Amino acid sequence: MGKNERTARVILEARGVRKTFPSRSGGEIVALENVDLSIPEGLTTLISGRSGAGKSTLLALLAGLDHPTSGSITFDGNALEKLDNSELARLRREKLGLVFQNFQLLPSWTAAENVEAVLMHSGIDRPARMARVEKILAELGLSGRFDNLPGELSVGQQQRVALARTLVNDPILILADEPTGSVDPQTAQEVIELLMERVRERGTTLLVATHGTFPETLADRQFKLAEGKIDSLCKES
Amino acid sequence: MRELIRCAWRELGRRKRRAAATTAGFALAALILFSVGNLLCFSRQTMSDILYNVGTHIIVSVPATGSEMTSAASGPWPIDSLNEAFYSEPNVVTQLLPRALASELAGLPAVLCATPLMLYRVKDSEKGFLFSIAGFDPKDKIALDNNLCSEKDIIAGTFIRSGDRGVAVVTDAFSITTGITVGSSVKISGISFPVIGIIKPGINPGKADVFLCLDDAVSVINPRLRQPMGDRVNSFLVEVKHGRQMEEAVSQIRGRIPDCLVNTFFCSVSAIRVLGMNEGAVWILLAIVLVGVTLYAMSSQWSSIVERRRDIGILKAIGWSDSEVVWQLGLESVIQSLLGGSIGCGLGFFFLAIFPVPAWISNSFSWNGELAGIVFLVGIVVSLFCGVVAGAVPAFYSARQTPAESIRSK
């Protein structure tokens, strides 16, 4: 299947998305303004912008972690604003992989437990679940680290655990928020290679928000976000 | 559910100090609840004992009207109607009623038992002084006990037993004024009754100077009447089932004998009020303890959730639903409360085994500290309830936040 065929379907779409937060002075802070975005299936899309441009807010809205003030978001045919919290949770559990800025591992859970958490309520029995967890951790080079707490792992290992957690449910879309923003360049390179390898293997759609640490050359499409608005489409393959 | 329990247990293990502190709070509450529960059992039992001694006794009679007394040329009325009379209270002259009424009264729902009683005021034919006779059936001990007199009132000699005939018991006051003692005799209507005992009755509704078996009393009273009284008596001793049922019993008796005079001290009313205040105080204490512990547990659980707010946000972000988060947090609280409740009640039993109820308490009241398993069960159930309440509020608050809000929190 060629790339053009794969891009025929839009897997994620934002229309007129606006997000504001209340300010201390009683007014409002506009984080996103009239964002329109279409993410085709199977491609890697980069959203770049400076810190505070609204990238993390946009990713949180696209993942259904927060609600837009106005506008609509459709993921895999589901209008997120029409789903209740449990349906959103189910969607995230079954179809979405999230890579957070600063990894966001649960500090008191072991590496295996952090990864297992995604599958905990998926209806898979524990032995099968643990088999999947151990397999993905082993694939990411963490065979001997199942029972280590995140604090006992190096930064690179922590990011790999986070990556394992993202990939363990075999998502159709991965949203990555500054996936290499907190690691040294060498580790960043390793993480990017691991992520891209899995994405290519599985044909997973990847949307990366970055302020410049993720190589633009790996992206099929690139948008620029500035002051809460999609400024331009910088690149389209 | 098994997964959630496993996860909740694991989470508690990760926060050992906080979990231990919260569990200890529940244990303390359960221990207090256990103690207060026992206090309540003790209070109930002593209340029952006290009410039995002060407030469940009644004498029932029907006052005679003036026309009956003056116009009766015949009938079972005293020949010397100026001095002698059937009475229930010193100045209340009464009618005669069928003895069989006793069993009807005993059958009333609020009545424990009833027995016929004869009270008659006599004028001594030799010395001219007035005294009173009580005729009763000695076998009806419960009805007699605090209503008239019983073996416990004996200060010299013995009390009249069931089957005794031709003997008398007198009060200490009568003994002093007449010089009659145990071994001497009292003469009524020409019949001498050896005095076998002297009593000092308490403040009972039924009062007399000389106590005889009912049939003996009938045999000495009949010659003093215009006509024999037949199978009749002038009053009934009634024992109510419980002090709380006094008014109910009186109402039922009045329903059966509309014109009756009910003679009782109604001590139960004030006793119930005072003892009720005592029990009320125990309930208030219990409520304060439970509210305090629930707030403590809620505060502890709240702190735990605030600490883990970001973690909860992450779990929701990776696909945990609100209900799964609520269950997880609620189960943590339930486990702690169940554990704490069991430990507290267990400690209560342990302390009770080590420090048994003092003899003066178990001798004074019919309570020896033996506990029903229900106290243990109630302790755990109440502890569990507090745990659910304490866990539910923070859990629902946490579930209401969006994952993004939770993850953003410091």
Residue-wise pLDDT tens digits, B41-50: 777 777 667 6
On whether both B195 and B283 belong to a single domain, the answer is: no
- Please tell me which of the candidates B15, B321, B404 has its beta carbon nearest to residue A86: B321
Query: Residue B51's pLDDT is what?
Result: 65
Sign of CA dihedral A154, A157, A161, A163: positive
**B123 & B247 share domain:** yes
pLDDT value of position A4: 44
**B31 and B61 together in one domain:** no
Quote the minimal CA–CA distance from A102 to chain B in Å: 11
Residue of B nearest to A115 (CA): B318
| B10 chain-A contacts, CB cut-off 8 A | 113
Cβ atoms A168, B319 nearer than 8 A: no
Write down the pLDDT at residue A8: 55
The beta-carbon neighbor of B317 closest among A92, A120, A121 is: A92
Position B410 scores a pLDDT of 55
* 3-state secondary structure at position A233: strand
> Read out DSSP for A113-131?
HHHHHHHTTTT--HHHHHH
Q: What is the pLDDT along chain B (410 residues), one digit of tens a residue?
A: 777 788 788 878 877 888 888 888 888 878 887 777 777 777 777 766 766 666 678 889 998 876 665 555 667 888 888 889 998 877 788 989 999 999 999 999 999 889 999 999 999 888 889 999 999 998 887 777 777 888 888 999 999 998 899 999 999 999 999 999 999 999 999 999 999 999 998 777 788 999 999 999 999 999 999 889 889 999 998 888 877 788 889 999 999 998 888 877 656 666 666 666 566 777 777 778 777 777 777 777 777 777 778 888 889 999 998 888 888 888 888 888 888 888 888 888 787 777 766 665 555 555 555 555 666 777 778 778 877 887 787 778 777 778 887 777 65
Domain count, chain A: 1
Is the domain of B11 the same as that of B135?
A: no
Query: What's the pLDDT tens digit per position in B325-354?
Result: 888 888 888 888 888 888 888 888 787 777
Q: How far apart are CA B82 and CA B307, in angstroms?
A: 93
Q: Report the b/e string of A167-192 with b at 16+ CB within 10 A.
A: bbbebbbbbbbbbbbbbeeebbebbb
- Structural domain including A164 reads 3-236
A196 CB within 8 Å of a chain B CB:
no
* Contact list, A86 vs chain B (CB under 8 Å): 321-323
* Residue A6 near residue A42 (C-beta atoms within 8 A): yes
* A164–chain B Cβ distance below 8 A for any pair: no
> Are B242 and B282 in the same domain?
no
Q: Which of B222, B240, B265 is the last residue of a domain?
A: B265
Torsion-angle region of A51 (φ positive above 0: left; ψ -120 to 50: alpha; else: beta): beta
- My answer on whether B44 and B74 are in the same domain is no
Predicted local distance difference test score (pLDDT) of residue A3: 46
Q: Please answer whether residues B203 and B196 qualify as being in contact, where contact means their C-beta atoms are separated by less than 8 angstroms.
A: no
Residues B228 and B368 grouped into a single domain: no
CATH code for position A133: 3.40.50.300
ipTM of the prediction: 0.90
Q: Determine the pLDDT at residue A32.
A: 92
Half-sphere exposure of A14 (CA within 13 A, CB side): 25
Query: CB distance A106–B314 less than 8 Å?
Result: yes
Same domain, B169 and B227: yes
Query: What token pair was written down for B295?
Result: 């707030």
Q: Please report residues of A whose CB lies closer than 8 A to that of B404.
A: 60, 65-66
Residues B195 and B331 both lie in one domain: no
- B21 by Cβ neighbours in 10 Å (0-12 / 13-18 / 19+) ranks as middle
User: Do B286 and B259 fall into the same domain?
Assistant: no
Boundary of a domain, candidates B229, B247, B265: B265
Cα distance between residue B170 and residue B186, in whole Å = 9
Whether residue B35 is found in the same domain as residue B101: no
Q: How far apart are CA B284 and CA B323, in angstroms?
A: 35
Angstrom distance (rounded) from CA A73 to CA B338: 45
Digit-by-digit pLDDT tens for chain A (237 residues) are: 344 444 458 999 999 999 998 888 888 889 999 999 999 998 999 999 888 888 989 999 999 999 999 999 999 999 999 998 889 999 999 999 998 888 889 888 899 999 999 998 888 888 999 999 999 999 888 888 889 999 999 888 998 999 999 999 999 999 998 887 777 788 888 888 888 988 888 889 999 998 877 888 888 898 999 888 887 666 665
Q: Where are the beta strands (DSSP E) in chain A?
A: 10-22, 28-40, 44-48, 70-75, 78-79, 96-99, 173-177, 205-210, 221-226, 229-236
Check B323 against A67: CB less than 8 A apart: no
> Which domain does B14 fall in, by range?
2-50+271-408
In this structure, are strands A44-48 and A221-226 parallel, antiparallel, or unpaired?
Answer: parallel
Residue at a domain's end among B236, B265, B294: B265
CB contact under 8 Å between B311 and A107, yes or no, is yes
Query: Residue A94: closest CA among chain B residues belongs to which residue?
Result: B319
Q: Which residues of B touch A121 (CB under 8 A)?
A: 3, 319-321, 324
Q: Which residue of B has its CA nearest to A96?
A: B318
Number of domains in chain B: 2
Residues B243 and B228 in one domain: yes
Please report residues of A whose CB lies closer than 8 A to that of B14: 108
> Hey, which residues does A208 pair with through a beta bridge?
A46, A176
Contact between A169 and B319 using a beta-carbon 8 Å cutoff: yes
